[in-house]
Structure 1
Amino acid sequence: MNNPLFYAKIILFGEYGMIENSQGLVVPYSFYKGTLKFSDLDNDFEKKSNQSLEKYSNYLAELELPSDFKLNVDSFKNDIKKGLFFDSNIPQGYGVGSSGALVAAIFEKYSFTKRDPETISKDELKDLKKVFGQLESYFHGTSSGMDPLICYMNLPILIENKENVGKVSLPKEEVGKGAIFLIDSGITGETGPMIQIFFEKLKNEGFRKTLKEEFIRYNNACIEAFLKKDMNPFFRNMKKLSVWAYEHFRPMIPENIFNAWKKGLDSNAYYLKLCGSGGGGYILGFTKDYEKAEKMLDGFQKEVIYRF
Structure 2
Amino acid sequence: MTNPLFYAKILLFGEYGIIEDSQGLTLPYSFYKGTLKFSDLNTDFEKKSNTSLGKYADYLTDITLPEKFELDVNAFKADIAKGLFFDSNIPQGYGVGSSGALVAAIFEKYSVLDYQPESISKDELKELKKVFGLLESYFHGKSSGIDPLICYMNLPILIENRDNVDRVTIPQGEAGKGAIFLIDSGMTGETGPMVQIFFEKMKTEGFRKTLKEEFIRYNNACIDAFLKKEMTPLFRNLKNLSVWAYEHFKPMIPESLYNAWKKGLDSNAYYLKLCGSGGGGYILGFTRDYGKAEKMLAGFEKEVIYRF
Alignment of 1:188-199 (within 5 A): 188-199=188-199
Partner of 2:48: 48
Partner of 1:204: 204
Partner of 2:69: 69
* Fraction of identical pairs, as percent: 80
2:157 matches 1:157: yes
Q: Deviations over 1:11-61 (max 9, x none)?
A: 000000000000000000000000000000011000000000000000001
Q: Deviations over 1:106-127 (max 9, x none)?
A: 0000001111111111000000
Q: Deviations over 1:242-285 (max 9, x none)?
A: 00000000000000100000000000000000000000000000
Question: How far, CA to CA, are the matches of 1:23 and 1:177 in structure 2?
Answer: 28
Shift of 1:228: 0.1
2:276 matches 1:276: yes
2:263 matches 1:266: no
Partner of 1:90: 90
Partner of 2:137: 137
User: RMSD value over aligned CA atoms?
Assistant: 0.3
SS in 1 for 2:272: strand
Long gaps (5+) in structure 1: none
Give the TM-score of the pair, scaled to structure 1: 1.00
Shift of 1:163: 1.2
Question: How far, CA to CA, are the matches of 2:250 and 2:72 in structure 1?
Answer: 43
Partner of 2:147: 147
SS in 1 for 2:273: strand
Partner of 1:112: 112
**Equivalences, count:** 308
Question: How far, CA to CA, are the matches of 2:60 and 2:163 in structure 1?
Answer: 24
Question: How far, CA to CA, are the matches of 1:190 and 1:162 in structure 2?
Answer: 23
Long gaps (5+) in structure 2: none
SS in 2 for 1:65: coil
Q: Deviations over 1:110-150 (max 9, x none)?
A: 00111111111100000000000000000000000000000
2:30 matches 1:9: no
Question: How far, CA to CA, are the matches of 1:163 and 1:136 in structure 2?
Answer: 17
Alignment of 1:177-188 (within 5 A): 177-188=177-188
Shift of 1:74: 0.2
SS in 1 for 2:64: coil
1:205 partner amino acid: E
Question: How far, CA to CA, are the matches of 2:56 and 2:283 in structure 1?
Answer: 29
SS in 1 for 2:180: strand
Q: Runs of 4 or more off by more than 4 Å in structure 1? A: none
Shift of 1:240: 0.2
SS in 2 for 1:46: helix
Shift of 1:2: 1.0
Question: How far, CA to CA, are the matches of 2:29 and 2:80 in structure 1?
Answer: 28
Question: How far, CA to CA, are the matches of 1:2 and 1:165 in structure 2?
Answer: 28
Give the TM-score of the pair, scaled to structure 2: 1.00
Question: How far, CA to CA, are the matches of 1:173 and 1:305 in structure 2?
Answer: 10
